[in-house]
Structure 1
């Protein structure tokens, strides 16, 4: 369906621009063009990112906030995340939400907005119930080096963990649940914004797996939108729409309605008391452009 919006008044645009400057979002927002080309937006359907999830809701809201005429659809069949990236490069889709990967940044245009407020950098552990005692005994970084972590083969998280001296075993997303259930590795780290949801969705593949509440790992990270480089009109529209969502507080309102994220934002749910900080050597320039003010700060 084509969405059209005449956009905010000049006074409202100036107010948004001032708030954008306070958040470090850069230049004054331009008034949306209602006579521009129709944007045909195609988003990948993946197991990890359902279309009723927050990233897709932010995409929909950003397109509407941009005021540009557009259509939006998702790919027909579910795609593994690596296949979705290949479809992005090949033209099967033209925007996807993705972890902050330099490989993706080299081939696409990254929009500098943390779709999860950086919560994906707080890595909660899915573990087998019968290994809880061993994992609860972890106290130091050296203890982490005795464990094996399961991650996806194309995830930048695997490289970050290995750079910290940790052992990683890789497999496709759904296989990771089965492998954890079989005891092939000790813990399956997932973002604080997604771990509980994904366990609910795929826990039937690993019935003895639970969420470890004692500690987590953290590194600077975020999920972002990546847009095909040959679609500057789409990138500009989303950049404009996301700017409006973040500076007006609408993005936070959307995130607050997420059953996993909302309780973290208002303090009803807290991250584990023990947090192991790791460096992210892959936090490159396109991601350093994300304003610090947009990241989640633990209560």
Structure 2
């Protein structure tokens, strides 16, 4: 006699397609050919991760990307991340300015008040501000009650909207963390796009109980953090991988239609003096190629939804 009841095996999402209810199968090769506004085939979307790692970060439920490696108070870890928000970011700003790129700043909301000079310089350059949770010590996960998580989402959106004066419609959970209801809470708080699921090169509709969000293709495999900090590869490998990705995506966009190249940048990683010149070389080459444009996440999201390619 089985101790497991029959309803244990009654899983409504089990079937021949996707094992969840947020989206159906969409094969990139089936997208109709299109161009971005202005006739570009490849859109370069740069996201700058502005993060605060508290000195007394919790050790669970999991360690976030870039988490402290030493017991609290970890002065080495804390100060290296703080370097990015006070030193590395300004090298990065100079490179982006020189290449005519306005990125999306995926920002922990505590930085808006802890680093007012940083927020002022972000806004002066016309960067888009997107919500990236409160800080890297507050991940979104199933151990939180819905009320607790709702408060975190509301605090992140509310603080950034108040300080920036922008609508702040983008969301990136700290370290790509989510609970089962994170997208629902983001949509209910007025978010329009999220970028936590890393399973496509193009946007797609993401269903929630409060309506559809747009899931944007924020790359982690091409991020400076993964290549340089997590995998400890030399800067030459970073430059090669991003250059190869650009060549492939540009060729694909010219043959098959509009594409997005997503670049994720962490100022405490790529803003180091021995690395930032490589980024400048890459962006100079990218932005001088025919058929290449750049836009913020919100701008790309608006263009995409106007195309109605998934109707």
TM (normalized to structure 1)? 0.29
More strand by share: 1
